[in-house]
Structure 1
Amino acid sequence: MEKLFKDTEKLAGWDGLNQAAELLQQGELVAVPTETVYGLAADARQPEAVAKIFHAKGRPADHPLIVHIADVAELSEWTTTVPAYAHTLAAAFWPGPLTFILPKAPHVSDIVTGGHPSVGVRCPSHPLMLALLKQLGTGLAAPSANPYKKISPTTAEQVLYGLNGKISAVLDGGACEVGLESTIVDLTTDTPRILRAGPITRQQLEAVLGCTVEQPKQHSEAVSGNVKAHYQPNTPLLVLPQAELLAKLHTANEKTAVMYYSEQVALQVQGQTLLTLKLAADKARYAQSLYYALHQLDQSEANEIWLEQPPSDDAWSDVQDRLARAAYR
């Protein structure tokens, strides 16, 4: 039976590190900060603890998790094969927002991998998370710390909004620096494949590897985030090209929330009685604030969120991917 907590404890940064480690060693769930989003962590070597993640999130059991490790040297503890280009990519991008898919080691529980023969592994760059991993001396299975298919959290407060009472604690490490989930690259084949767009782009991977990296627009591989409806606010979200949004603004009312980044829309919404939120035109800053902004508007009195479609070039592929799933109906 799922254990319920009256309130989830909020642990303050470095002062809460030891308590977070103790709870994880005891098989409890602790939401932890990473540079991408907050993760819902359990000791990856404790199958019973990992199973609690699925109950707390309402996540299907066949949806695999990512194991977070403290150093590239630990890769061999979780996989049977570590190709040379995994070391090349790790040297360039770890610690950082890049996940490898590799054949799983025999001891890795099917609960972690969703019954699949491969495992996702990454080394996060958040200093508090790295310190926790080093103190524990094990990997942490940690999907995003939110109810399944809902907006990923980038602050401890957003974790509590979605999971309060369902997990033991959240370790507060401040706002996430990157704000979107990691790039997932499949290294089980001769040609690396991006299975989830993320902050590390195909061009960056190809520049380091000196070879082609595939990036299918759609695929059926079982990896985190690969469902049509995901990252969704409770409030209906419409992603609209700029011209369509400008034409539609005259129908908006005080219950309409508008998210935008361009000066054209900024000029149009000035003086209107709307809920408005301007995002940066710079891609990295836009991505860092996207989920935070969606959370803010989702907790407002808005009955609909209209979002100006961001640029469509490759650098924005992770943003485009998340918004397509967030707006899917």
Structure 2
Amino acid sequence: MEGLSGAGLLKATQTLSLTDVQGRSTAARWLKQGKLVAIPTETVYGLAASAANGDAVKGVFTAKGRPLDHPLILHVATVEQLDGWVAHISDQARTLMDAFWPGPLTLILPRHPEASDLITAGKDTIAVRMPADPLLREILSNCGPVVAPSANPHKKISPTSARQVLQGLDGRIDAVVDGGPCTLGLESTILDVCHQPPRILRAGPLFADQLSEVLGQTVLTPEQHSVSVAGNMPAHYQPNTPAQLMARATLVEALAQIEADQHRPVVLHYSAIDLAPDVIAKALPNQRRDYARQLYDAMAWADSQAGGEIWIERPPLAWLEVQDRLQRACYRE
């Protein structure tokens, strides 16, 4: 990748503004030149590279420390930009695009024969989505399709602000486009429409009942699967501090049993819990979408508090997208 030294580090990562015309122009130009630029989406910040530049795409894997056998998601500004990447778009896929694009829906479609194996991990499908922000789509219109996995070191907490991107990747990428905090805060829903009936491969901001209503048929939500898609690893979205997911009763009991000389945990909770004055804690919203939007930011905050562990109160089991992220964040070998 242009700008990388032999050690794989840049001098510094520059910050551009999404709301500034010059910032968007610079971001598009640098992406066309093969540079790595973190971009804000409605879900999380993504580490973008021109999909047409193989060296730049490899740079994404290097900067993140991401294994090469993990497929990437192609981000486009228009459906027309899928030409040369997708073999064909079914009526079912077009119905979903009309209903949910631009937005937090990634579709698994048949790949075009010329689509890069580096992006698809050699699979016969490709993951594609159109982000919601019109200013970001302006950048993509000018630079062409990009790959954009979350802009964080592999398996670590996904960033929902430019500051968090810099905390994880400063010196490893060329720039971050600051678009403020992400409005949704969790990665997109991944839906496989090559499989019938369609199935959700990663839970996200769009739910099965919403997708089923538009399609007029049942959309499956497998609890576990072995399909290689973004985010489907047992350990993922993890803070550096060990984290435990606890039912409310278990958390309350554990807090009551903390000994005087025990290193205090940092607690993330959403229900009312009596806490000792010396316990560092943050209350998360008790509404599903608000909780999801604040989750990664709260985890990053908890990670910065130098606690012995992070104890997280388990939210309702019906919040599948949240449960998915928390289970992977708390997974231990």
| TM-score, normalization by structure 2 | 0.94
**Which stretch has the larger CA shift, 67-76 or 45-54?**
67-76
The 2-side partners of 1:190 and 1:74 are apart by 26
2:72: which partner in 1?
A: 65
1:10 aligned onto 2:19: no
Give the match for residue 255 of structure 1.
Answer: 264
Which of 149, 155, 161 pairs up with 1:143? 149
Alignment equivalent of 1:90, drawn from 97, 118, 134: 97
- Code of the residue aligned with 2:269 in structure 1: it is Y
How far the C-alpha of 1:189 sits from its partner, in A, is 2.4
- For 1:255 and 1:165, the matched residues in 2 are separated by 33
Aligned to 1:78, the other structure's residue is in SS state coil
CA-CA distance at 1:180 after TM superposition: 0.3
Q: Please state if 1:229 is matched with 2:235.
A: yes
Question: What's the RMSD between the two structures over aligned residues?
Answer: 1.3
- Is 1:281 matched up with 2:292? no
Separation in 2, partners of 1:251, 1:57: 39
- 1:238-281 Cα offsets, whole Å, 9 max, x none, are 11001111111123466310000112x2xx11x52111101000
Shift of 1:2: 6.0
Partner of 1:213: 219
CA contact (8 A) 1:76 1:82 kept: no
Give me the identity figure in percent.
50
Q: Once superposed, which parts of structure 1, at least 4 consecutive aligned residues long, lie more than 4 Å away?
A: none
Deviation at 1:146, TM superposition (A): 0.3
- Amino acid paired to 1:235: T
Say if 2:18 and 2:136, in contact at 8 Å, map to a contact too.
Answer: no
CA contact (8 A) 1:5 1:168 kept: yes
Range with bigger deviation, 6-15 or 39-48: 6-15
Amino acid at match of 2:41: T
Q: Where does residue 120 of structure 1 map in the other structure?
A: 127
SS in 2 for 1:206: helix
TM superposition score normalised by structure 1: 0.95
Q: For residues 20-74 of structure 1, what are the alpha-carbon distances to aligned partners after superposition, in whole Å with 9 as ceiling and x for unaligned?
A: 1111111010000000000000000111110100000010101000000112333
Aligned pairs, number:
322
Any stretches of 5+ residues in structure 2 without a counterpart?
A: 1-5
Partner in structure 2 of residue 246 of structure 1: 252
- How far, CA to CA, are the matches of 1:211 and 1:81 in structure 2? 21
Identify, as 1 or 2, the structure richer in helix. Answer: 1
Output the amino acid matched with 1:213: V
**Could you list the runs of 5+ residues in structure 1 that have no partner in the other structure?**
none
Alignment-derived partner of residue 192 in structure 1: 198
> How far apart, in 2, do the equivalents of 1:125 and 1:215 lie?
24
Alignment of 1:102-117 (within 5 A): 102-117=109-124
Instruction: Tell me, in whole angstroms, the C-alpha distance in 1 between the residues paired with 2:134 and 2:277.
Output: 43
